[in-house]
Amino acid sequence: MTDPAATRHGPGRILILVYGVFALAATARAGVQIATQFDQAPIAYILSAVAAVIYIAATFALARATKVSRRVATVAIVVELVGVIAIGAFSYAVPEDFPEATVWSHFGQGYGFVPLVLPILGLLWLRRTS
Amino acid sequence: MFEPLTWALVALSLVAMVFAIVLAVLDKRINWTLLAILAVVEVGLLAQLVIGIIQLTGTDRDVSGVFFVGYLIGGLIVLPLGALWALAESSRWGAGALAFACLVIPVVEQRLHVIWTT
């Protein structure tokens, strides 16, 4: 059994910083959208807020790197992966329900598809360090 | 937007990013030269925040002020956070993480430019 702290070292250093930047960006964006123009697309903005919370949880859970926090990170990242695939698919299938983009619309196209790749790398990293 | 400053910030942060990648490839930790370059970028970002807010109050353009200032402030946070995070890592991956933080700056500048011009 490797040291759980391994999660935050090595390549995990980059991974956690990427998560942190997404947490910051998603939180700021969702906050502004909900505060100023919530009526325009409530579903999209609530989903943006949910995404923000998941990014925050994943960032801190990966960075804390204890046995328990690794489990929290795994759950958060699985939800993130399901979310980005589901929202990505829905945004193509019923675009009229997504008039305003969320982080996960079109599989994260607006963010260079990083939102799609990030959870995959996150899960691989958790497996690698387990 | 004061374009020359935008371009200077993009160029300098890309230089810093390449520098950080070179350090990571050479298996070195981040050094004072890299931090000095980032300090210059940070001063530039601070100047951009001040200039941006002044221009925002004086413009006739329909700029989304909250998003514009949000990106200006967000850009300020990234490098110090990235530097602290990188300093606490004793391997080459600290420099790698800082390279990513540097890459965020051109993205922020691009967003600022789009928000200002559309």
Q: Is any Cβ of chain B less than 8 angstroms from the Cβ of A43?
A: no
Q: Give the mean model confidence (pLDDT) for residues A88-109.
A: 82
* Number of Cβ atoms within 10 Å of the Cβ of B36: 11
The answer to whether residue A1 scores a pLDDT higher than 60 is no
Instruction: Give the pLDDT score at B21.
Output: 97
pLDDT band of B31, cuts 50, 70, 90: very high
Average pLDDT for B10-30 = 97
Residue of A nearest to B103 (CA): A18
Q: Is the pTM of this model over 0.90?
A: yes
Cα-Cα end-to-end distance for chain B: 12
pLDDT at A100: 64
Q: Does A12 touch chain B (CB under 8 A)?
A: yes
Among the partner residues A11, A18, A24, nearest to B74 by beta-carbon distance? A24
Confidence of residue B99 (pLDDT cuts 50, 70, 90): very high
Write the burial class of residue B105 (CB in 10 Å: 0-12 exposed, 13-18 middle, 19+ buried). Answer: buried
In chain A, residues with a C-beta closer than 8 Å to the C-beta of B66 are 32, 36
Contact A19, A58 (CB under 8 A): yes
What is the distance between the alpha carbons of residues B103 and B10, in angstroms, rounded to a whole number? 9
Q: Of all residues in chain A, what percent carry a pLDDT higher than 90?
A: 63
Q: What is the DSSP letter of A9?
A: S
Taking the CB of residue A111, how many other CB atoms lie within 10 A of it? 19
Residues B76-100, mean pLDDT to the nearest whole number:
96
Mean pLDDT along residues B58-64:
81
